[in-house]
Structure formats: C-alpha cells, structure tokens
Structure 1
C-alpha cells in the first residue's frame, strides 16, 4: 500500500513556506516531484541563496578534498561570473513578491561586483523586499587569511555603492570589514540592523547609526576594530551587545526600552548609560568562571544604577566602583557567600534561566542566592546537565524569598531554545 503524500495535500501557501526554508538549489529541485510542484518554489516569499550549496553537489559536501578541488576550479573570474548570472536568472524567474532574502556568498562575489549587481536588481525589480541577510563565505581564500578578525579588502563591504541598502527595512550582516558608512546612506526605512563578526572602527560605526535615523533595533556581536563604543540614535528601542572586548561603552539613548547584554569585557566604571525609558534589562552571566562573574556583576550593577526606573539602592560611599583585576583572594567555592549578588540587581530580578546546571558547589550557591534573596522573583528555569531528581533534592529545601516563585527544572536532553 502506497504511503499517503501529506505534503502535496497541503495548501499551496503552506507548501511555499516549507520550501522557502531550503537552500535555493534544493528549493528548485522540488519542481521535479510532480506537475503540482513545478512552480511552488517560484511562489515563496523568502529565498535562501547559498553559493557554497549551489557550487558543490550535495553528494560531495562531506568530502573536503572534493570540495576544495571544486572551489579551486572556481578561482577564475569567468567561473564566478557564471554563478552570478545564475543567481540573477533565479531571481528573475521568481513570480511572487519576495519579502526577505538571504545570501551566503564568496569573497570574490564581493570583489568582482556580483553582490552589488544582485542588490541593485532587488532594489529595482523586487520593490516589496524588506529583509536582507548577507554573509561572506571565505572558502575561496587561502586558509591563512580566512580567520577572524577580517581586516581585509577581501571582506570589504565598503566596496558597495553609496546608499545600496536604502530600500531595506531590516538588514543582517556577518563576516565583513567596513571602512565607510557610504553603503548605509539614506537608510531612512531601516528599522532593524544586526551585525555579527564585523571589523569596524568607532567613527564608522557612529556614521552608520547616524545614517539610519529611524533605527529601532540594533545588535552588535563578536565584532572588533573599536576601542570605545558610543551608541547614539534617538529612535532606538532595543539594543543588544555581546561577545566583544572594549575599553568603554557609552549608550546615550533616552528612549531605549530594552537592553540585552551577552558576555562583554568592559570596565564597569567605563560603562555609561543614559536610558531613562529603560524597562527591560537582560544579561548573560558565566557562572562557572568566578573572575568573569565578578566583572559582569559589577558591570550590571553600574548599568542598573544609571537607570532610575530599575534601580532601588545607590552605592554607599564605602563601596568601590572599579572592577579591579577580578583576582579572588578567597576560594572559588566561597564566591557567592562572600561576594553575593548586588542588591541593585537581585532586588529587581523576576526571571532567571540557568543552562548546563551540573550541581557544582558554585552553581548551587548562585541558585541558592537567587531563591533565598530575590523578593520579586517569579520563575527560575534550570536546564540540567545532571540528573533532575538530584537537582530537585538540592533545591527543594531552600526557603523562597518570593511567594510567587516557581522553580522549573528541565532534563539534560532538552535543548535551550
């Protein structure tokens, strides 16, 4: 008995959504399934164009030597031009109004002007497009110059024409070197900008933010090239900073409502924030490294003390405002007992998530600190790497400072979303 074809029985718009999640080469291949599938890929509202996927057959992607051989054969400009023309052909064959598109391209597509050609086509022929994601893939470069930081013209996004991004409402950039804010000129529609693994200096970054007058969401992560970071944009509502080291951070955004911090290396007394409208503050803390915990706690405390709507207690005159060198003069196991969580943080905690909980002395100390002292807590979620029953036994006897607190334990095979 033949199995029922449930996917073909789905409505055409649902089929388009499913197909749009595939890289473009696999997306187009669905047209051979049946007559009904011939044009499904042309009706998708999102496209994933991955040059690496287009160049290398799926049967060879797990064979590194075959893959490198194919890449070497592409080094000539005419070969890259052929694939650039194929991308344009795919875009031109599409019949629906694309709202979002993602390109993962080689460095030579940027150098030879292919990427700019694609973007011009999108701006002129696909006027409904709102979201663009760009990622530079260094597989066509020698191994010794592929690594980050990428201060190299191979990755130089400034090669693009001025105002090339002005038609977008949302933009994501990964793996680029930016020497000029010119591509961002006239970005009056841009509301969301995400930058990951970007090499840019503070002057150019300020110019980019100034060009995007109506920017509401900005994320910067795993990036470098700047010694000091100044964020100043009147319409910014959400700011996320993560995974970089800097000497000073200055956030001058009175209308900012949400601040999200990943792991940052910045002296606490050099983190200045003017965000009087701030309502939500999220911070990642690396519990298993006491030195980093100390620095991160001090940074968080300095931030909260500058946000009047979130802060309760001012630092007393005897307390130090400097982060120091984070050297511990006592055993790591005594960290939470001696240091504790500053009142300016713990008095406002409502939701805490702990990942990879193993039941170590330091981890239990942190959870105990939260459960027994955070009077506003509503939920603590713990993703366990140890046995859940063991974690339950460790935490069940702790007195709760908040009557509304619920403790949620997740088994170790659950993945954090």
Structure 2
C-alpha cells in the first residue's frame, strides 16, 4: 500500500513535519554567550513553556525568570516560573503575569542578560492596561477586534497603544541590561513589531494608526480607551531609538521554514509541490475560492504542478463574524473550499493552526475529502447554512473530521495542504 492510497494520513504527516520544524529546541542554535552578571528569562506565548524548558536544559550557568503561556500549555520547569493565562481574550492572570515579568527585569545592570522568549499568543498573555484603563476595557476591545475581521497587524497596533508592556515597552524596562529576544514567528512577514505585539521591538505604528483601525472597523471603544488614544500620552519607542541599542532580535522558527519542511516530506512521497508561500491573508472564504480555482486549473488544464500534486500555503486569514456558530478560520476555510470544489474527485485537504488551536476551539483544524459534502447531506447537515453561521467546527464535528492535536507548544501560523491526485 502506497502513501498516496492513504491521503488523509499523508496530509497529517505533512502537518506534523511542519510543526516539528518549529519545535522550541530550535532556540539552542541561537543562544547568546553567558554574561558576567545574571541571566533572566522572560517571555510569553503558546510556546513559552516549551521554550523555557529547552532554555533550562541548554543554558550553562545561573538562570531565573518567569514566562506566561495559555491555560493548558504549561510544562514542568525548574528555574523559570511558568504562569498561565487566558487567550485570545485576556484575564487577570495575564495581567499578573505581565506585572511579574516587569518585576523580574527591574533593577538589572549592564552586566546582566535578559533572554526574552516570544511566540504567537503572547499579546493576549501580556496584558497590562495603560494608565486609566481597566481589564474589562481591554477585554471588550479584544472581543471587538477578534470579531471585526481586522488583520493581526491592525489588532496589535491597537493593543500596543493601550498597554504598559507591549510595543517595545518591555525592552525599555530591561535597560541597561543586554536583551536578546528569541522568537517563533506566527505572523505574515515575520515582523518583530507584530509578533506578540512586539514587547521588545521598536514600534513604527502610532496612536494615529490605532485610531485609524478603530474608525475603519467601527469599534465601539470604551470612553477611557478613546480618550487615551486621543491624548497620545507617551508614544512607543520607534526604530532608531537609542534606548533600544542593547536589544537584539533573533527569529528561531518561521512559517516559511515550516512550509518548506512539509514540502520536503511531500516530495519524498512522490508529490509535485506548488508552494504558494506563507503570506496568504484576507477573508477565509475568499482565500478558499482562490485555492479552489487553482485546483480546478490543475484538474482541467494541467500546468502549475503535474498530478499527483500538493498545494501548500500559510499565512493568517480572517473571519468577519456574522453568525453564532463555533468555528475557527481554518475550519471556515475548509468548509468554503468544500463548497467551491463541490465534490471534485481526487481532492483532499487539511487546514489547521500549527499551535493546535483553531481560533478558540479545541481542534487544530479539520480534514476534507471528495465525499465530504455527500456525507454531510446524508446526515442532514446543510453546508451552506453552517458556513453562513460561521459554524465550520460544528460541520466537521458532525462528520468526525476535526483535527484534534492538543497543544503543540509552538506556533508558526496557519497550515493549508491540498492534495490533488
């Protein structure tokens, strides 16, 4: 039996290859030299606990610190405390973690070293409202931003200007110590200012940009937040700021590297790979239509990549919520893809978030087969109605086609693989 006779199993192997390429052990090759003074580790994200664990195993000298991760993502550590908080909407535990992180870097000297461990999800987990704002204010703003269809760049532009730790402010708190950030990228373009809202990076965005995002999406900002954005109290540190002279940023894993790892595994299985890149954005439904068009081109006219072929893409689509269903952007993409392909023979797909969480549900994503719509119809599940209700999760759960991995302890954004036999 060949791997191509088990398409769903092959797609899962490709996803696993992408995730494995971004494991926290990647940081070992990027570690700085030990300092003359203390070494303090701080950080946040869905991979933070795994990164802290890897750092402890590799670091040769004295080490202490604290990191924040999502509930259910903690791992045992000995020298670095791991705190848990809520994601994607922040909670008081995240605020407490941010306060403890700031306390950990307070009073350091020029002989000391701070290693900051960042990954996707860090923005929600490093929540410390700006002066005059409450946690409730931040929670309400987060809910609106997550539902309006804004890109992660736009979401983080607002977050940074309503925070006491994001947008380079953590870097300022570390001075005069040397600061080395080790980051796993989950954003299009691998922009240090966007990953986890850039707590240790210069921030080119402004209060005016944040107001622009709020206006563009019609956000109903709490009065205190609106007043703060208008007042522009203390702007985030910008590129070239002398206060960031001792801050260094190192990417240890990226979405493109993960896609390339999956592509290498696919070629080993005898597939011709069409790699669309790691920068696919926009509404999940619209991205699905574009991917379906590429599939139909392959099937009807050839070209692009000879069959058997694999279409790979990454990035981060968005979903503008209009319904009340359960779903994430990857299950929404797959449901829209199923409708666009309409049972086209020989086409299988997997779409999932590499952190193991599609939006806020318990699945990483889902799997699609040529008979998906037919099986749904036989069960009385209306695919178009489920899509209109943003209920991709419910649709694939009814078919037992959800992809459930549990926490992967990394995050290199979305992974989409379409197998065309």
TM-score higher than 0.5: no
Structure possessing the higher radius of gyration over alpha carbons: 1
**Taking structure 2 as the reference length, what is the TM-score of the superposition?**
0.28
RCO greater where, 1 or 2, for CA within 8 Å and sep 6 or more?
Answer: 2
Larger fraction in strand: 1
